[in-house]
Structure 1
């Protein structure tokens, strides 16, 4: 029965991930990335404005995440997810009817999409945490986080193919809202709301809720949570950049080498989006699986296994991402091989980071912790990176030529490799505190004012 509930949660998030990628996690994208060359041509926008599409969405998402985190720790999580996903479906469908004179409307709908993303990405992992414990929880989280790369990769493929068949990128945004509505129906009628922490040694009724400010202060004093959040921020930065710009970069590389024709009239050549989508699906499955399995084996040797695996994933991804960017002008095959390796190592973080948060934070603060992590990681990560990459590309570009379209974007994307190395350092620092913080969470005792209140109530009753 628990597995069935997990399957439905994964189905809901997979259907959304075809147009939204969490990381986040986390990480949230819609089909705009899959048809970006067509959108740039349709609205006649620069790289900077293209990146702004992603930034507007992420800003909305991270602003709303704390609200849903607060609600998720106090009210029925299933109903909150249903409302958010239903609203997301309507907004996504509405965005497909925007004309070329109303680029501002596309930005507006991109921002409203953040409602649905914030509703399920902050809450769904906490429901899984209340259904499973220990090793089983890690395994189930790995299944849940398959929804991110698999759904996102399918989004690249579906969006590109629908665009090719219909000859209009707007139709790419009209495919997945129906899947979102299906997810709402399944969540509403089948999934039951589990009690927070009911399956753990410290269930919800033995823990006393504190104010939102108290929760935030406690999280800020949790080194493992803070440092792993900064590490996850770098993952968001890199994945946000790649999600938006990788297909466009590969297309420009093809134009630069003479393998493709420039996009002068829609529909553009979206074959790179299809290949990138396939790579995203495969590397996501391999990365999440290998990250979880390596972490499980290392736990028998050291309790610091999880942050060490995350650090290794980022540090190994950095050189392969660098090589994929630099080889784009020489060998298309080598570029795809290095992208494959880089994304595989990058994907090792997804489930492991989520597991770290769940065992260093007490059950009554987990939705708030998820929201806090989402806000910080997106504020400094993929809310900034797509726009930053676009602005840097525009500033480097010396002329409006196909050569500089490629060169400027190539140089700006090199920033991803540097950020990945910084992320590895944050996870290495997390390893220094992980044992202590996990012990504190498992043996949490209310302090000061809370103890006095509980004692007073006990005396009054007895």
Structure 2
């Protein structure tokens, strides 16, 4: 027989949970199991029960947490798959609804605007209510809206725009809350690993979005079918979250549960975050990343198609379905470089940590500054060599995927993390990809209006508009350098709290 001693609710109290055979763990009414004693006697006087605690957690519990993180990562893949399916069939949408570049860019801009407005609301809810219920409802909502939008006819382009705005609300709940659940399931290196897997879903899902949109459209002969794949998978994933993802206690793995029962007000949370200088500068840096990736992700496949029209290797699309080769290649590159970027960035960060504790923001800064060079090479190479343009795209995405959002988990206390993620999401979208797709399309249309109508000027005008991206990326690199100056101090403050 083995006695189980637990730490009780009162200060300095302890008691017997019960006698069980074969040595098992139990949980008290007010506290968690602290020790296993091999005798019938309580721990010696003066000895803390915590010192006799088992060193390892049950394997089944660890597997359950890993499975939960895997399901949440799959949901993140579907979020971005749905988001970029539209970009994969953008040329068909332009032909179907008869809209110009600015109209096509409006689809992504409306989506991001609704996303960023909803994110702070879900951040507030995520710090106070059942997170997995909110996640599942968000997935079910955007899945239903996306499926319904696949039946919109050519007279109702405004309805397609509205539906993308509603999808943004559903996806905001997921992107804001899911990483905070992973943060509360794991700690230290394991947390960083799991969050890296979760955020690897961004390039993977984005690439699969291009591939899914192009492939399904080609097989079905109708781009509308491309919008019916992600909703089905989304419904399945939402159900799995309800069943298998645990209700993680905020700060539990960091042994802070008892210290975090009293919550601060939303206004106080916001003030604390705005005083966190590394958080502010990293938010500005991710805004620059968002601006560039949002614009390039939306327009590069169409830009490369126009480049091939100018080089007379393909014909201009005049009827549906349009060619899918560029979207397929771009999607495959996004998936591959996402994986390569995560591996390269993780290796570089691990090596740099041997030299400095500011490795994370410094690696991100170097990666962003290097990516600006590759963006310029895309436009130089596209004029004469599509292969050269694709090589430059590989270099860009490999460099830009160095950003590690997991550092946010270390400079913000657990009860403030959902709000922090939501505010950073709001800022990065407001200053980044909320306006960049439409802005690039607007500048492109403006240049075309001042020139003669021709395939050459359609290609050049879009390229000139996209040249805004490298300047923004360089600015983002500077913000990451500023983050490195305050990172250690802010991390220490969060640990002390």
Separation in structure 2 between the aligned mates of residue 211 and residue 116 of structure 1, nearest angstrom: 25
> Hey, what does 2:467 align to over in structure 1?
414
**3-state DSSP of counterpart to 2:229:** coil
In the comparison of the two structures, how many residue pairs are matched? 432
Q: Please tell me whether residue 402 in structure 1 is matched to residue 455 in structure 2.
A: yes
The CA deviation at 1:207 is: 5.3
Q: 1:14 aligns with which of 47, 67, 77?
A: 77
Partner SS for 1:111: helix
C-alpha distance in 2 between matches for 1:191 and 1:369: 22
Which deviations, in whole Å up to 9, do the C-alpha atoms of 1:51-110 show, x marking residues without a partner?
A: 111110000000000110000000110000000000010000011011111011001000
State the Cα RMSD in Å. Answer: 1.1
Is it true that 1:385 corresponds to 2:439 in the alignment?
no
Q: After superposition, what is the alpha-carbon deviation per residue over 1:364-384, rounded to whole angstroms, capped at 9, x for unaligned?
A: 000000000011100010001
8 Å contact kept, 1:238–1:419: yes
Partners of 1:339 and 1:204 in 2: CA distance: 49
- Segments of structure 1 that go 5 or more residues without pairing to the other structure are 20-28, 445-462
Secondary structure (helix, strand or coil) at the match of 1:176 reads: helix
2: distance between equivalents of 1:409 and 1:207?
Answer: 53
Secondary structure of 1:130 counterpart: helix
The CA distance in 1 between the partners of 2:349 and 2:256, in whole Å, is 25
Could you tell me how far apart the structure 2 residues matched to 1:254 and 1:248 are? 10
Residue-by-residue CA offset, 1:409-453 (whole Å, 9 max, x unaligned)? 011111111111100000001111001000000102xxxxxxxxx
Number of the residue aligned with 1:198? 252
Distance 1:298 1:429 in 2: 17
1:348-368 Cα deviation digits (max 9, x unpaired): 11xx1x122111111000000
Aligned twin of 1:131: 185
Which runs of at least 4 in structure 1 moved beyond 6 Å after TM superposition? none
1:357 equivalent in structure 2: 408
Matched residues in 1 for 2:425 and 2:471: separation?
22
Structure 1 CA distance for aligned equivalents of residues 264 and 314 of structure 2: 59
Higher-RCO chain (CA-CA 8 Å, sequence separation at least 6): 1
Structure 1 stretch displaced more, 201-210 or 366-375: 201-210
Q: Paired residue for 1:299?
A: 353
1:204 to partner: Cα distance: 5.9
Which residue number corresponds to residue 292 of structure 2?
238
| SS of alignment partner, residue 89 of structure 2 | helix
Report matched runs for 1:37-76 at 5 Å.
37-76=91-130
The alpha carbon displacement at 1:205 in A equals 4.2
**Is 1:370 matched up with 2:421?**
yes
State the distance in 1 between where 2:273 and 2:434 align. 22
Q: 1:313 & 1:203 partners in 2: Cα distance?
A: 37
Contact 2:131–2:177 at 8 Å: present in 1 too? yes
Partner residue in 2 for 1:158: 212
1:430 corresponds to:
483
> Would the alpha carbon gap of residues 204 and 137 (structure 1) be closer, same or farther in structure 2, given more than 3 Å must change?
farther
Deviations 1:274-307 (A, max 9, x none): 0000000000011122212321222232111111
Deviations 1:89-148 (A, max 9, x none): 000001101111101100100000012211110011101111111121111111111211
Deviation at 1:18, TM superposition (A): 1.3
- Mean alpha-carbon deviation: is it higher for 134-143 or for 99-108? 134-143
Question: Which blocks of at least 5 consecutive residues in structure 2 are unaligned?
Answer: 1-63
Shift in alpha-carbon separation, 1:204–1:425, aligned structure 2, 3 A: farther
Distance 1:256 1:355 in 2: 43
CA contact (8 A) 2:84 2:210 kept: no
Give 1:208 shift.
2.7
1:309-324 paired onto structure 2 within 5 Å: 309-324=363-378
Supply the distance in 2 between the matched residues of 1:393 and 1:201 (Cα, whole angstroms).
Answer: 54
Aligned to 2:35: none
Partner residue, 1:342: 396
